[in-house]
Amino acid sequence: MDIICYSHLRWNFVYQRPQHLLSRMARHFRIFYIEEPIFDADRPFLDNQQNEDKVWVVVPHLKAGLPEHEIEEQQNILLKDFLDYFECREFIAWYYTPMAIGLNPTFSPSLVVYDCMDELAAFKNAPASLKEKEADLLHNADIVFTGGYSLYNAKKDKHPNVYLFPSSIDRKHFEKARNLQTDAVDQQHIPFPRIGFFGVVDERMDIALLEAIADKKPGWHFVIIGPVVKIDPETLPRRNNIHYLGPKSYKELPFYIAKWNVAMMPFAMNESTRFISPTKTPEYLAAGKPVVSTAIFDVVKFYGDTGLAHIAEDANGFVAAIQDALDIPDSAKWLKTVDLSLSANSWDKTVEKMMFYIKNALEAKNAEGVKQKEDEYV
């Protein structure tokens, strides 16, 4: 059986939940990862390549200015030819974006999975039809997974089979940061103490908070790693103690985190962050770094209330929390607590549990199909 995944995220953009899950599932399934189209072609075509994770990354290229129904039609034609070539017959349709609900390039899937990792309708520039299409997807889905507790509460009454799978962790990858001695070349000139962030810099970051913290503590240095999207880079605060190093690959991240003193999550408290469950929280902790965050619900529930993360409401609170993190009296004892809390958390275990629910759903659906056929003959 294959998995055809429809995603709003570029595979090679930021390595996060879809990549962690599907790269592991690619050990057992043939994976086709269908990205949203790029509008740069005179004639429609598909760019496709199997990557090092054995995932086929498929990108439709279409002409700019097409109406929505033609965008779907052209993608369906391209994808049908592509999937026919690979003789894709039995498959699971796996959705990250409800906007792909109109794509039906081949016959009906054996199972429909909606892995809801974000409340996309709350994001900046979200399509007007997104909520309506998510309602359609929830109606058609056999299973819904949610990427955080807040999302689970938002979706649990909208579908009979909703399961919570919060952010997990590749511990071995980030634990390397605890013993790395070499500093990243473009970070070597930055003085200590260093307070770092990695991730997408967009409307979810409270740039006014970052500016205020940097102004209050000119002797602290703030390292920002990640692409800037959906906001004007010119609006970012520019200070001598704020260092924007741009995007880095997933493989490079431990080399940067290794030489930070504290990791931070200065998220804005707005509609776009109401349902987030940042994957970077356990990644920072696995790297052995204290975490300071604004009061994101899932962070408070799973890490703040258990003492693993420092929570702050404003600039003064953030400065105080960072100072507390810098002054942790017994780092060895703290690391033992961290390791104990993360011990049951891994992407491998998440995939194993997801496959348990998928297997049960497939068996139930097959049994229902057999019963329907039997009833036809009675």
Hey, CA dihedral for 277, 280, 286, 289, is it positive or negative? Answer: negative
Which token pair is 6?
A: 């429809």
Q: How confident is the model at residue 10 (pLDDT cuts 50, 70, 90)?
A: very high
Peptide bond before residue 290 is cis, with ω within 30 degrees of 0: no
Contact, 130 vs 121, CB < 8 A?
yes
> Is pLDDT at 213 greater than 70 in this prediction?
yes
Under the banding of pLDDT at 50, 70 and 90, the label for residue 270 is very high
Tell me the backbone φ, ψ of residue 105, rounded to 5 degrees: -75, -15
The per-residue pLDDT for range 95-149, each reduced to its tens digit, is 999 999 999 877 689 999 999 999 999 988 889 899 999 999 999 999 999 999 9
Q: Report d(CA 21, CA 31) in Å as an integer.
A: 11
Structure tokens at 23: 């790269």
Least confident of 66-80, 192-206, 364-378: 364-378
* Pair of tokens at residue 339: 């390791």
For 190, list phi and psi in degrees, rounded to 5: -85, 125
Say yes or no to pLDDT of 14 above 70: yes
Which residues are CB-neighbours of 286 under 8 A, at least 6 positions away?
A: 169, 170, 171, 173, 174, 175, 338, 342
- Which among 40, 22, 17 has a CA at the least distance from the CA of 32? 22
Edge-first strand listing for the sheet containing 291-294 = 242-246, 221-225, 194-198, 262-265, 291-294, 309-312
Query: Could you tell me what percent of the chain has a pLDDT over 70?
Result: 97
Q: Is the model's pTM score more than 0.85?
A: yes
Closest CA to 332 of 196, 177, 178: 178
pLDDT at residue 66 greater than cutoff 70: yes
Give the amino acid at 268: A
pLDDT at 370: 59
pLDDT confidence of residue 374: 56
Identify the CA nearest to 190 among candidates 93, 256, 236, 121: 256
Q: Cα(137)–Cα(93) distance, rounded to whole angstroms?
A: 11
How buried is 301 (Cβ within 10 angstroms: 0-12 exposed, 13-18 middle, 19+ buried)?
middle
Sequence-distant (≥ 6) Cβ neighbours of residue 331 within 8 angstroms = none
- pLDDT at site 329: 80
Q: Tell me what pLDDT residue 330 has.
A: 82
pLDDT of 376 strictly over 80: no
Residue type, 213: I
**Mean pLDDT throughout 71-75?**
95
Indicate whether 378 pLDDT > 90: no
Q: Can you tell me the mean pLDDT for 276-298?
A: 96
Q: Is the pLDDT of residue 369 over 90?
A: no
Q: What's residue 373's pLDDT? A: 53
Mean pLDDT of the chain: 94
pLDDT mean over 255-268:
98
How far apart (Å, rounded) are the C-alpha atoms in residues 61 and 42?
A: 9
| 138, 201, 228, 321 from 241: Cα distances, Å | 46, 17, 18, 18
What digits encode the pLDDT tens for the residues 347-367? Answer: 999 999 999 999 999 999 888
Rounded distance between C-alpha atoms, residue 298 and residue 281, angstroms: 10
Segment holding 85, helix H or strand E: helix 68-85
Please write the tens of the pLDDT for every residue from 147-180.
999 999 999 999 999 999 998 999 999 999 999 9
Degrees (nearest 5) of the Cα angle 253, 148, 164? 120
pLDDT digits (tens, 9 = 90+) for 299-337: 999 999 999 999 999 999 999 999 999 999 888 999 999
Residue 290 predicted with pLDDT over 70: yes
Residues 143 and 164: their CA atoms lie apart, in Å, by 11
Q: In whole angstroms, what is the distance from residue 281 CA to residue 309 CA? A: 8
Dihedral angle over CA of 309, 310, 314, 319, nearest 10 = -130
Contacts of 369 (CB under 8 A, 6+ apart): none
Residue 316: C-alpha distances to residues 221, 265, 321, 356 (Å): 16, 15, 9, 46
Q: Which of 282, 283, 290, 292 is nearest to 313 (CA)?
A: 292
